[in-house]
């Protein structure tokens, strides 16, 4: 290691980088830039799944309500 008086001062502050003006073309690429369509898969129709979950929740809640009402007010 060099003596203290010979070492260069190193600053942790760097110059801010400027925005690039142009993206260089990729070697071998022939495609133009395009916006990717997100992969929907089974999540393509989220309202279907929401409806399925809400319907199941309402059915289960209805069963508990009927059991409670049967205990409180026996009909049969």
Phi-psi map region of 59: left, alpha, beta (phi>0 left; psi -120 to 50 alpha): alpha
**Residue 55 confidence (pLDDT):** 98
pTM of whole model > 0.85? no
C-alpha–C-alpha distance, residues 40 and 23, integer Å: 29
**Residue 19 confidence (pLDDT):** 74
Question: In the predicted model, is pLDDT for residue 69 greater than 70?
Answer: yes
């Amino acid at each position: 290691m060099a003596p203290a008086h010979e070492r260069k001062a190193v600053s942790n502050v760097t110059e801010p980088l400027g925005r690039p003006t142009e993206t260089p073309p990729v070697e071998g690429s022939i495609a133009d830039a395009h916006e990717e369509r997100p992969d929907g898969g089974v999540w393509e129709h989220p309202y279907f799944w929401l409806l399925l979950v809400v319907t199941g929740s309402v059915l289960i809640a209805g069963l508990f309500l009927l059991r409670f009402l049967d205990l409180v007010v026996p009909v049969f």
